[in-house]
Each structure stands twice: as C-alpha cells, then as structure tokens.
Structure 1
Amino acid sequence: MNDIRPWRTIERRQSRQIMVGSVPVGGDAPITVQTMTNTPTSDAAATIDQIRRCEEAGADIIRVSCPDTDSTAAFKQIARAAQVPLVADIHFHYKRALEAADAGAACLRINPGNIGSNERVAEVVRAAKANGCAIRIGVNAGSLEKDLLEKYGEPCPEALIESALDHIKLLQDHDFHEYKVAVKASDVFLAVAAYHGLAEAVDCPLHLGITEAGGLIGGTVKSSIGLGSLLWAGIGDTIRVSLSAEPEQEVRVGFEILKALGLRTRGVRVVSCPSCARQGFDVIRTVQTLEERLQHIKTPLSLSVLGCVVNGPGEARETDIGLTGGGNGKHMVYLSGMKDHHIEDGDMLDHIVKLVEEKAAAIEAEKDDAGETAAVAAE
C-alpha cells in the first residue's frame, strides 16, 4: 500500500474501527487473519494445543465453537490460555452467548435474529457490553431466513445484504455498535457481489470469507479469487480462509493472499520458478523443504530460488537473498541483490536457512536499535 507505483496502490474502504479484545479491526488497522478450531471445545487441552499452532502460524483472532454448556464451561480455561482474542461461535441458543461472554470471549459470532425474542437480543447485548465483547454478524447463503428465500426465490446478493441489514438493525435498536459483518457464500460470484453491495450500505468493518471453499488446493484457489478480488477493490478488514484442512493452514494461506497484494507482510516471501530441464538443482523439492524449515521466521523478508541463470539473476536483484542454479553442482548466492558467493549442492539447504535466519535477526536488531534511539530522543 505504501508503494509509490500507482498501479500497485490499493485504497481501502474507510470503515469505522472496533476492538476485538486487544486487536483493532477496521479503520486503518492492519487486515487481520482469522481461523477456527475444529477440536471438541469441551476438550480444553486439545483446543488449546490447536490454538497454540494457529498462534505460531500468525493468527490474530481465533474462533471457537460453543454449541453446548460443556463447551462454554471449558471456554474460560481456553480463553485464559490463549494469547490472541477468541470469538465464541454461537448459532441459536442465546444462553451460550451469555455464558461465553462471561467466560472471556472477546467477540460473539451470532445472528441476533436467530436467537428468538427481542428480550433475548437485549440480554446478549447487555452481556456483550458488560464484558467488552464485540459481535460478529455472520450471514451465510446456506442458512438464509425462510422469508428471504421466499421473497427472492434463491440465495442472491440482495437477500444476503437484506439479512445483514436486518440483523444490524436489531443491534442498533439496542444502541450496540461494536459489530462486524460477514455475508459468506460458497459461490464466489455470489459472495463477491454481496460484499460489494454491503460495503456501500454500511460503515462497519467487514469480515471476508468464501465459505465451504473446499480442500487445501481447491479451497485456496476459490478463496484467493474471491478474497483477492475484494481486497484488491479495498473491501475487507479481517479475513478467514475456510478450508477442509488444519486451521493453521488457513492462517498461512490468509497471509499469502495479503502478502501477494502487498497489504501485509509476515515471514519469508519466496519467489521461485516452476523448474524445467535447465535447472541446476531440484527446485521443487528445495522450495518445499525451505518453506517447511522457514515457517518459524516471522520477520518479513524475501528469498528467490531459481533453477538456472536465465531469470535467476534478475529475480535475485529484487530479493534479500537469492539462489540460482549453476553447473557442476555449484550455485550462486546473492545477498541484497548482489552476487556474493558459490555454494555446493550438499551444503545448499542448511546454508540458505542459516542466511535467512541471520538476515531476520539483523533486521530485528535494527528495529530494536531504532526503537531505543527514538526512545532516547523522546526523553
């Protein structure tokens, strides 16, 4: 977003900001990445373990389903252990929302119109206000209200938007404004059209998602097309990539989408070729191994891995660290865009990992020094 080239500029929709626990959502806050646990919430140990993996992957906010009293009973322990804010997912039973709010939820995922009477909505709002909870309205094409399906005949953008506005009004009638909204569908065209329409109708933060997107590959493609097009248009304040995969994978895919658009950076951005007969080493296996071994790096930096010298030098000039394939098992390593030294096949992987770790440490040290200098200057 700070790139001076106009063809790379994304102007984000101006939404008002809410807080989900300690995490700002909307306004000029970074676009947050969410996921959802899939362990039985009543099994606190298993759920906490999964949350830890998601936190390591970079999740900003994590959703936990609370379908019954055993789940909300365990939620308090889970919330205490979590290092990021938790959203309690409530579908129909308003008492679960009350219990989750008291147990430490930073946000309640609930559709006010689905929990019954206006008094029940009022109770949930009172509990949310008392505990500092936000609310996420989650409209889904697969569970639209019967009257809207009868009115429109099928799920359509207008139906999703009307549902969202109806739920919003229920909260506003009780003077509650700390909410964000999603209008999800598994159909990319439907979801994108609904989000565009809702973005024009409201000023609240929008939670993006293509629901029931599929497995790791298919779901990543659908989510990248849908979320990518919306984010490119400046729409979206927080995202969840819905995959039939482990939740930490959702987090990684989410960050890759944001990195590709220059909206947020985290960890190593790998530039690599698809490989061909010119390759001087096994590019595919090398990249797979490096991505696995560099998952612990949180500092934003770039690494190019190219199998030959056709495009390798050009890509290496644009990355912090570069590797291009050469002959006789010797390959060129670039540092800060300049040729630096050769490395042999047997030492290549360990060497590149070490260079990335050292570069990340140097960047963090520079940040610390800059922070100390600024603090001294302010005194």
Structure 2
Amino acid sequence: MEKNVIVGQSGGPTAAINSSLAGVYRTAKDRGAKKVYGMLHGIQGLLEERYIDLADHIKTELDAELLKRTPAAFLGSCRFKLPEIHEDREVYEKIFSILDKLEIEAFIYIGGNDSMDTIKKLSDYAIITGHPTRFVGCPKTIDNDLALTDHTPGYGSAAKYIGTSMKEIIRDSFCLEYNKGLVTIVEIMGRNAGWLTGAAALSEGEDCEGPDLIYLPELPFDIRKFGERVKKLLAKKPSVVVALSEGIRTGEGKYVCELGNSVDFVDAFGHKQLSGTAAFLANYIAGELGCKTRAIELSTLQRSASHAASRVDILEAYQVGGAAVKAADEGDSGKMVVLQRLSDDPYQCGTEVKDVHKIANDEKLVPREWVNKEGTYVTNEFISYVRPLIQGDVSPVMVDGIPRHLYRPIELVRR
C-alpha cells in the first residue's frame, strides 16, 4: 500500500468487533500503509472530521492483544444512514474531500447490514466520479443475518454467552419450588432473524435439559397456544424456562412487545426499538395461570461478554479484518469479505469477497427446516451449524482479578 487506510465501526458492538479492528491495523501496516486512521463513531464522526491515528493507541503487541479482548467498539459506533447519491451529493463531496485530505487509499467499514449500505453507496459514488479510493466491508453482527456469508464474526461469542447463560438460568430456576410453579421467560436479541435465540438450545446436554420452548421471529407467534403449552408443561414439572426473540410477532405482524407498551424510538434506518416482550408474556402467564413468573432480558450483555468469547470467533474476526485490507490493496472495491465453511469435522473456514450490492439491506433468516414442525424449538441441524462457532476460550488479561481492556480516553471523542 502506498498511502493511508481509514477504518470505522458501525452498528451494534460485539465481543469480537475490536479483533477485526486489530486485524485491519496489523495487515495494513504489514502491507506498507503509512497511516491507519480510525473514524470516531463511524461515518457520522468522519463527516465531522473526528478521527485518530491508531498508531497512537496500538504501540505494542500487548496493546494489539488487549484490543482483541476488548468488547464493544473501541472507535465508537453510529447508526447513520447516508442519503441516496441523487438526494444529497454535498454529503458525498464532503466525505471524499476528507478522504483526499487524508490521502486515503482504502476505506474499511466494520459492521452489519446497514453498514454494508454505506459501503455500497460510497463505492458507487467513487465509480461515478472516478475516485481511486477503494471501499471494502468487514462483516460484524451478533444477529448473524448477513447474506452470502456462512456466519458473521460476533455471532459465535454471543451464541456461547447465550448457551452458557441459559444453562445457569435453568439451574437457578429449579432451586425453589412454588405452589403453582415457576415460569421464566428469557428475551434474546433478534428483530427478524432468530440465530441468537436458537443458540439457547446449546444449553441442552447430559447435565441440562435445555429450555422447554424456543420461539424465533421467523414464525408467527400465537399467544393463546403459548399459554396452553406452558400450562401443559407446568402440569408435568415445577419449573418452565422459555427462550424467545425480542422480535416475535403475531400472525397479523404486530410485535408482541407492542401489545404491552408503545414502541416510540425508531433509528435512522427505520428500525423500532424492541423491548418488553418477556415482561408482557410473563404478566400474561401470571394472569392466566396464577403462577410465579420471571422475565429476563439479556439485553446488551449478550454482545459485550468478552469474558465468554469464543476463540474461533475472535480468530475469525481478526482474519476478516486482514482479508478486507488485502482485498482493497489488491484492487477490490464495493465488496464485503465473507466466511466460507469448508468442513464441519474438522471445522475449517476460509474467506472470499462478494459484491456488497448483493448483501446490503438483505437479511439471512434461519431456514424453516431448522425449526421443528410446531415452531417451538430448533433442530439438530441448527445445533450442528452453530456448535463449531463457540469452540475455545480467550483468556482475558487479568489485573487485580478484573479483565483489562484497551482504553481510549473519552475526551478524544468530544470536539
């Protein structure tokens, strides 16, 4: 590489997103990049000319290893939707003038569906104007819903955390007995795709029965049938544990969480903020059956649990970061790195690049055949798919009994 590289992070953070950042930095430097800049809070921060030289923060190999083990977005993230090119060319002119000033040869964006929309638009503008900067997407999302890739970095660690947490919740639910039983409902992230919620089945094994019911957003949710199933289960056992996606909807298409309270917040991409599904259904079951209920939201814990990170996930996240730089250096633009599974036993996975136009704003859902006929549990095919992705551990660097992270003073974020 003859000039500079800039990298940004966008969308929801993960336990592995900073490993991709480390991969971008190390590969860019190894390929001769003079500087590797980091956008503060993604494309939104770049528009405000907020960026740092990563060499000021990654000074040693220990710094790089700490970064791999640091959860959330080290550079800061954003949810910023670029306008269509024909709607506001001034935004693009400003971005590209900043790229010119910084002598940017490669622009790497780490993110999910909405982030790939940004790569698509920027690469299209570069083609229209004949601009030499190359734009490559680096996949990241715990939702695992990016098209054309076998899976996404961040998903394996989140799945591992969910499987572990469900096992602990199930164990806890049998500690006390209640006269009319106990129903615990665990709400897991997932707007339209149930990859995360399906991972609750990983808790099942010789020492754990796993959750009694699993509901994914790919299938319509019938509240009445749900209540009947819980009632039958309580007649057989003192405790019932249910895992469900925050985005489950009724047959009419209404989010279940909207039945309990209004969903007011909508982000730049038109996504409603979903919360309260477990609470609504716990209240419903308590009212119908008169039993003790608990509602648990894993919330941001499932995307920030670096202490439960999968070694496979961290290594693959680093790998795709490096592959994104390599692709840009070799002339690719308007592409995203994808993971291609080569074998399950032993597990092997490689990288390729695919046209981002075939990925942006698309969603990969859990196949219907990976959910049982009743729509209440995932199949063995789902488990076989996800289990290789949770293997291995990444030991945190411990200081005084607490994990040490790579830290960037918050003052650098503010103008």
Which category describes the TM-score, using the shorter chain as reference length? under 0.3
Q: TM-score, normalised by structure 1?
A: 0.27
Structure with larger RCO (C-alpha < 8 A, sep 6+): 2
Q: TM-score, normalised by structure 2?
A: 0.25
Structure number with greater Rg is: 1
Point out the structure with the larger helix share.
Answer: 1
